[in-house]
Amino acid sequence: MGDAEIIPIGTRGRPGRGTGTRPSAAARNLAGKGRSGAAKPDAPTEKPDSAEATPADEAAPSAPPADPPEAQSVIPLLGDEVMPLTPSESAAPAISPRLTVTEREAPGIPIGDWLSAIQAAAREVFGDQWESQLAHFLAFLRRRLTGDYVVDEFGFDPEITERFFMTALRPIAQKWFRIEVRGAENIPTTGGALIVSNHSGTVPVDALMTMFSVRDQTDRYLRSLGADLVFRLPFVGAVARKGGATLACAEDAERMLAGGELVGVWPEGFKGIGKPYSQRYKLQRFGRGGFVSAALRTQVPIVPLSVVGAEEIYPLVGNVPALARLIGVPYIPITPLFPWLGPLGMVPLPSKWLLEFGEPIRTDEYDDGAAEDPMLVFNVTDQVRETIQQTLYSLLMQRNSVFK
Amino acid sequence: MSGRTVLVTGVSRDLGRTCARSLANDPSVERVIGVDVMPPRGDIGDVQFVRADIRNPVIAKVIAREDVDTVVHMSVIATPGSAGGRGTMKELNVIGTMQLLAACQKAESLRTLVVKSTTTVYGASNRDPAMFTEDLEPRRPARTGYAKDVAEVEGYVRGFARRRPDVTVTTLRCANVIGPRVVSPVTSYFRMPVIPTVLGFDPRLQFLHESDLNRVLRHAVTAGVHGTFNVAGDGVLMLSQALRRLQRPGVPLPGLAFGGLGSALRSARYADLSPELVAFLTYGRGVDTSRMRDMLGFEPRYSTEEAFGEFASTLPPTGGRADRVLAAVAERLPEVTDDRPPALTVTGGSDG
């Protein structure tokens, strides 16, 4: 029975290492005299799944003579505590040595050690003020669990955005894409403003990165406008609303801008992110200029933003239009890595990103009815589009390589 | 003009009854006449009850005989419930309103018509703006059920307002009414011990406290402001947040299963998850109430949060174990003084 506990570390109960015919001298010395005969027939027949079962079954008949010296010599420390219980009955020793082994692991570390380890860990994570920090953290958890928090009318949840989304995006933005932000001083620090950006990258990662960068640079939240598809998808829509997004429609855009929010819009939409890699950095049509009328109506400045690097994260080389129509999405991307590598293909390529915020385009100098003048709206739209396109070209000139 | 005579339809149900009673307590109102096909179940105080069916022309005689100058139309019902099947419900809602409006058009003495409508007319879809103003149409016109009934009722009311420009017509689009005594599809949904939700969606909800509903109807009767107004408590509540405040466990189900569950619960008469309620619990809805404040001049006493809180306090929690555990742990730690602390300062840098 002793071999159930001791020998499985090495040779599964078989003597020696290679031949298996004759136990080594060390093994013979270790094994008790009574059970050397029992071990021999057992050795050649290797039953892998009964390896745990056999010792326990065999233990009961063969144990009584061999057990006391065996346990005393091999099982250290804790075996002493169990010994007084064993000798009385023949069935008991089969169970009690097993108990000693399992017990050895649990109370092996005293509770005091556990507590001090937890305290040390808490100190490591939360710093020296760990008690109050942990209390704060618990208070936060309880607030979340009891629903004691406030969301705004668009469903924006600042607490969860700050604590989870921004924290999760930070390493991606800073370590993976190594985002470099230029012209952050062009983002107004107060009041409503509309940030207009190019859209690329197959998956709207650029929107997330822009949201993070704006928060990082200005301490303001970027409220993005998303397509209706975003809000039709489960999870995506719910997370988008919690992160401050809302539907890209005139009512919501004007409501947010009038409320003094910093609103982000990607007027190219799916034409922008779903364009093939061969057309990278060529701006698509800027919607119907709805974002300009919204800015004109609320008289907020338009900040053009050019993003370089997002095009290369998922180079779109193919599409499956029939399948896309079937599912009801604008396109099914095929990149050099996806779907061939499966989930691994979903890892974005680590391109180097440059974000340049341009000079704000003022809209408060136009007349009241300017938003109703289609020609003016088209002109302003073209002005924004040209600005972004020119900035893209100059950023591309400055860029040494895609990944550096 | 003192001593007004108000006719209230739909007094057999709780909301209509309490509204009629609160109108009867108003000093500027002399008489309140309650009309319904069934007698009210509770105490109606000073309200004079007339058993009449608004689906037939008898209602015109009641209006003419009692010299009614104000009609409060509250008998647009959300669920077939006690009325019978969907056919009866539609009959009550649409034909009843048509007959009532026909009678109103003939009544020379009529000065004010107040219609209790609902925000369900806006529907709920993924293409909705965050906040509906009164001028916005639903993105997808309702094809069935309560929402379609209400849209038709509102259409007839608009037609009536055109034909009788001398009558002040106030349409109140009320958010979901909630309160300890309210029985409605939404409250029965929240009264379930385990609450099913749609997997991956977290709708925004708005509520109106039952006492605020009575107040706004009274206000509309006395103020006499023409137009359509959204009525809802301030702020929004996410469904997940609402469940946590109820301390009831939610079970997320895929969208299709949720719809199927709706019909199963309906046949079991446990809760009524109609298709428009399923859409509401998937995409949520918010309405803009600035017109209610500025033009109607009404201020709800309860915010959405407070109204729901009062409702929640009457229900025994069936979950919330995690919070109790955390509360026990938190007791051993020092008191947290500042309420919303800034971001945690994590040692080891912020770029991890």
Smallest Cβ–Cβ distance between B344 and the set A136, A154, A229 belongs to A136
Q: Express the helix, strand and coil content of chain B in percent, nearest 5 each.
A: 40, 15, 40
Alpha-carbon gap, residue B305 to B311, rounded angstroms: 10
Q: Over 90: is that where the pLDDT of A107 sits? A: no
Query: Cα–chain-centroid distance for residue B300?
Result: 13
Structure tokens at B18: 């309490």
Contacts of B237 in chain A (CB under 8 A): 147, 151
ipTM of the complex in this document: 0.86
Helix intervals (H) in A315-366: 321-327
CB contact under 8 A, A151 and B236: yes
Find the largest Cα–Cα distance for chain A: 107
In A, residues 159-178, which contact B (CB 8 Å cutoff)?
159, 162-163, 170-171, 174-175
- pLDDT the model gives residue A58: 44
- pLDDT the model gives residue A78: 46
DSSP H/E element including B36: strand B29-36
Residues in chain B: 352
Condensed to tens digits (0 to 9), the pLDDT of residues A90-103 reads 444 444 444 444 44
| Among B42, B58, B14, B69, CA closest to B222 | B69
- pLDDT the model gives residue A16: 54
A317 lies within 8 A of chain B by CB: no
Return the percentage of chain B with pLDDT > 70, whole number: 93
Alpha-carbon gap, residue A192 to A195, rounded angstroms: 10
In B, residues 195-234, which contact A (CB 8 Å cutoff)?
198-202, 204
Contacts of A127 in chain B (CB under 8 A): 345-347
Give mean pLDDT, residues B195-203.
94
Give mean pLDDT, residues A321-343.
89
Condensed to tens digits (0 to 9), the pLDDT of residues B292-337 reads 999 999 999 999 999 999 999 998 888 777 777 877 777 777 766 5
Is the alpha carbon torsion for A175, A180, A186, A192 positive or negative?
Answer: negative
In B, residues 250-289, which contact A (CB 8 Å cutoff)?
255, 283-284, 286
CB contact under 8 A, B130 and A228: no
CB contact under 8 A, B347 and A146: no
Contacts of B345 in chain A (CB under 8 A): 127, 133
Q: Nearest-CA residue of chain A relative to B128?
A: A247
> Minimal Cα–Cα distance from B74 to chain A, Å?
29
pLDDT band at A53 (very low <50, low <70, confident <90, very high): very low
Query: Cα–chain-centroid distance for residue A293?
Result: 38
> Minimal Cα–Cα distance from B268 to chain A, Å?
28
CB contact under 8 A, B130 and A133: no
Q: Nearest-CA residue of chain B relative to A129?
A: B345
- pLDDT the model gives residue B326: 79
Q: For the range A159-165, what are the long-range contacts, defined as Cβ-Cβ under 8 Å and sequence gap of 24 or more?
A: A159/B340, A160/A242, A161/A221, A161/A242, A161/A243, A161/A244, A162/B343, A163/B343, A163/B344, A165/A239, A165/A242, A165/A243
Condensed to tens digits (0 to 9), the pLDDT of residues B223-242 reads 999 999 999 999 999 999 99
Higher pLDDT, A168 or A45: A168
Q: Over 90: is that where the pLDDT of A389 sits? A: yes
> Minimal Cα–Cα distance from A224 to chain B, Å?
13
> Minimal Cα–Cα distance from A94 to chain B, Å?
40
- pLDDT the model gives residue B236: 94
- pLDDT the model gives residue A260: 94
Condensed to tens digits (0 to 9), the pLDDT of residues A129-169 reads 777 888 888 888 888 888 889 999 999 999 999 999 999 99
Supply the mean pLDDT for chain A.
80
Smallest Cβ–Cβ distance between B334 and the set A132, A152, A241 belongs to A132
Q: Over 70: is that where the pLDDT of B192 sits? A: yes
| Among B277, B320, B245, B233, CA closest to B123 | B277
Give mean pLDDT, residues B244-258.
90
Helix intervals (H) in B164-300: 185-190, 210-223, 239-246, 255-267, 275-283, 290-291
Amino acid B57 reads P
CB atoms within 10 A of CB B307: 29
Interface test with A, best of B140, B306, B344, B345 (most A CBs within 10 A): B344
In B, residues 123-152, which contact A (CB 8 Å cutoff)?
126-131, 133, 136
Q: Over 80: is that where the pLDDT of A11 sits? A: no
Give mean pLDDT, residues B94-115.
94
CB contact under 8 A, B336 and A136: yes
Higher pLDDT, A123 or B105: B105
Contacts of A58 (CB under 8 A, 6+ apart): A1, A38, A42
Supply the mean pLDDT for chain B.
87
Smallest Cβ–Cβ distance between A238 and the set B201, B334, B335 belongs to B201
Query: Cα–chain-centroid distance for residue A329?
Result: 25
Q: Nearest-CA residue of chain B relative to A136?
A: B336
CB contact under 8 A, B334 and A238: no
Q: Over 90: is that where the pLDDT of A375 sits? A: yes
* C-alpha to C-alpha distances, A129 to A112, A158, A375, nearest whole angstrom: 21, 25, 61
Q: Nearest-CA residue of chain B relative to A233?
A: B200
A124 lies within 8 A of chain B by CB: yes
Contacts of B239 in chain A (CB under 8 A): none
Give mean pLDDT, residues B215-222.
94
Contacts of B122 in chain A (CB under 8 A): none
- pLDDT the model gives residue A75: 45
Condensed to tens digits (0 to 9), the pLDDT of residues A278-308 reads 999 999 999 888 999 999 999 999 999 999 9
Contacts of A241 in chain B (CB under 8 A): 202, 204
CB contact under 8 A, B238 and A139: no
* C-alpha to C-alpha distances, B222 to A381, B34, B226, nearest whole angstrom: 50, 18, 12
DSSP B32: E
Contacts of B320 in chain A (CB under 8 A): 145-146
Q: How many A/B residue pairs have CB atoms within 8 Å?
A: 134
Structure tokens at B53: 């069916």
CB contact under 8 A, A131 and B344: no
Which range is least confidently modeled, A9-13, A291-295, B176-180, B207-211?
Answer: A9-13
B327 lies within 8 A of chain A by CB: yes
Which range is least confidently modeled, A77-86, A225-234, B172-181, B267-276?
Answer: A77-86
Burial class (CB in 10 A: 0-12, 13-18, 19+), A27: buried
Higher pLDDT, B37 or A69: B37
Q: Over 80: is that where the pLDDT of A320 sits? A: yes
Condensed to tens digits (0 to 9), the pLDDT of residues B78-92 reads 877 666 678 888 888
Alpha-carbon gap, residue A3 to A23, rounded angstroms: 13
With H, G, I as helix, E, B as strand and everything else as coil, classify residue A223: strand
Q: Beta-strand (E) ranges in A297-364?
A: 302-308, 318-319, 333-334, 354-357
> Minimal Cα–Cα distance from B105 to chain A, Å?
37
Q: Over 50: is that where the pLDDT of B351 sits? A: no
> Minimal Cα–Cα distance from A146 to chain B, Å?
5
B166 lies within 8 A of chain A by CB: no
